[in-house]
Homo-oligomer: A and B are copies of this chain.
Amino acid sequence: MPKVRLAMAQTNPEVGDISANLEACFAAVSAAAANNANLVLFGEMCVTGYPIEDLATRRSFVRSAETAIDDFAVRLDQAGLGNLHVVLGHPALAPNGTGDHWAIAQNCASVVFQGQVIGRYAKHHLPNYSVFDEYRVFVPGDQLLTFEVNGVVCSVLICEDIWQSGGPVAQLTSAKPQLTLVLNGSPFEMGKQQTRTQLVSNLATEYNTAVAYVNLVGGQDDLVFDGASLLVNRSGNTVQRLPAFETGVGYADLNTDGTIEAVTAPGAESSPAVTADLLESVWQALVLGLRDYVNKNGFKSVVLGLSGGIDSAVCASLAVDALGPSRVFGVSLPSVYSSDHSKSDAFDLANRLGLHIRTEAIANLVQVAESQLNLTGLAAENVQARMRGVILMALSNAEGHLTLTTGNKTELAVGYSTIYGDAVGGYAPIKDVAKTMVWELARWRNHQAQMLGLTPPIPENSIEKPPSAELRPDQVDQDSLPEYHLLDRMLELYIDERLARQEIIDAGFDAETVDRVIALVDNAEWKRRQGAIGPKITGMAFGRDRRMPITNKYRQK
């Protein structure tokens, strides 16, 4: 018999739905008990969902979470599960009143045992960069929590605490836990699973402790939590990893000799590798983000314009992977400038995916607007995009679909879109995907289908043809923009790496193009500010990850 059988449970909580979230926790604890576990670890804020943003500043909300934890402890005990130690994440009111400003709560982990909360840890390092605002809404804690299970010393930390030095993590030296329990709400970014593995491994060897790292699963607004929880022994080797992008429970035994080993429980693979393929992990993140946004917000279906181009084709394919074809409604919205292939490629896509498709020509609407207002040039081009927006939103209103907007990150960066036109929609599935990666994803998805002997979902023609907005005769994107592979690299240097103009030029781009691209990015801030949210997959997504003033005269020299 092991001294401790640990269950690591990665759940997919919904922000604010405390009772449903705790129902999932109860199911996991029950399963853990059935599998003879005596310690269960959940992810950060598994009780309330994460991040709760300014809900943390509402006293009534925080009290609800506290009460729910107390009730949950009693419920477990009454159900005969009181002898498991269960570690859950939730907000709680700060014991010594408020923090600096608005913060009244702490980001906590409670240890529940025999009908009571027997210990509570408050996160010390509060991330306040990138998409995080935790210093805004939480009061930091400063004491490591240590408790024993069957004589095994366990310490508790939360997420950012192990990414920074100092604070409670340093107290591991004196606490000397055999097992360190880390609750996480770590959103997906490309390559981050590898980074986390290295971080957890380093923690294990530095403090000579096994480390259980449990991450949340699921989409929450612009974030996707990718699970992939892991268990590392005190030598820093991964002994267990839970699947990415799926809920699940994994088991491991801490033996009397101090060794730790994974238990292969029904339905839990013992140690899947880190998602090998970058594109596969991105696709999965985008699918999960989209599915959870739709389902958690109560939409039965989505609607999107299908132009025959690559962006809408990839969005439609993601939507079908996320929701199934019966919940996806495509609309071909041809104008007088639309090519034949724009229509045939859209229908080809719809046939491959099995989604609903209809045609709503915009010619009549555009003609009335153009003649009433005497529109020409850009104003006339934008009216086409806006009439498409009017139609999509009318179908959304009439039939209850969530409208998806299909703009990619490159387009958002340089403002190559029509606000209130193609930008209408509540969710932007590829908002953080650069144009060049949109093509890569399309090829990857087609290839994956071929490997499985299935029809590639995305028409070759949508991948291969030159991209065009088709708002005037013979228009192609490259009339207005640099080649996409160059543009995307410049954008990465300017936005993600925050390089100065001269540094970008030094990287091999001509000054005039660099100036033009920087100006396009800076001038499009107001449009981005009114854009739909979409899933973050890079280190610097537009939205709360990058907070730039709209009114901004800074032009780099």
Contacts and interface: CB of A to CB of B under 8 A. Distances in A.
A373 B393 contact: no
Given A136-B129, A420-B389, A379 B394 contact: yes
A529 B426 CA distance: 10
A551 B383 contact: no
Most buried by B among A128, A393, A533, A556: A128
A525 B375 CA distance: 34
Contacts of A548: 53-55
A57 interface: yes
Contacts of A360: 372-373
Interface string A51-80: 111110111110010000000000000000
Contacts of A460: none
Given A54-B546, A365-B372, A551 B390 contact: no
Contact of A55 (B128, B382, B397, B549): B549
Nearest to A48: B554
A550 B533 contact: yes
A59 B501 CA distance: 11
B554 A17 contact: yes
A314 to B, nearest CB: 23
A228 interface: no
Given A365-B372, A420-B389, A551-B221, A500 B398 contact: no
A531 interface: yes
Given A136-B129, A553-B14, A390 B387 contact: yes
A33 interface: no
Contacts of A14: 551, 553
Interface residues of A, number: 89
A5 B529 CA distance: 45
Interface string A208-234: 000000000001110000000000000
Contact of A368 (B364, B526, B530, B553): B364
A365 B375 contact: no
Given A127-B101, A530-B530, A397 B420 contact: no
Contacts of A549: 15-16, 51-53, 55, 220-221
B554 A55 contact: yes
Interface in A29-52: 51-52
B378 A393 contact: no
A164 interface: yes
Nearest to A557: B64
Nearest to A418: B393
A394 B390 contact: no
Interface of A: 14-18, 20, 51-55, 57-61, 64, 100-103, 125, 127-130, 133, 135-136, 164, 219-221, 292-293, 296-297, 360, 364-365, 368-369, 372-373, 375-379, 382-383, 386-387, 389-391, 393-395, 397-398, 419-420, 424, 426, 498-503, 526, 529-533, 546-557
Given A128-B133, A220-B551, A530-B531, 20 more contacts: A16-B555, A18-B554, A53-B547, A53-B549, A55-B552, A58-B500, A60-B499, A60-B503, A128-B128, A129-B136, A221-B550, A221-B551, A292-B551, A296-B551, A360-B372, A375-B394, A378-B397, A386-B394, A390-B420, A393-B420
11 contacts: A100-B125, A133-B133, A133-B136, A135-B135, A219-B551, A221-B551, A293-B551, A297-B526, A297-B550, A373-B398, A377-B398
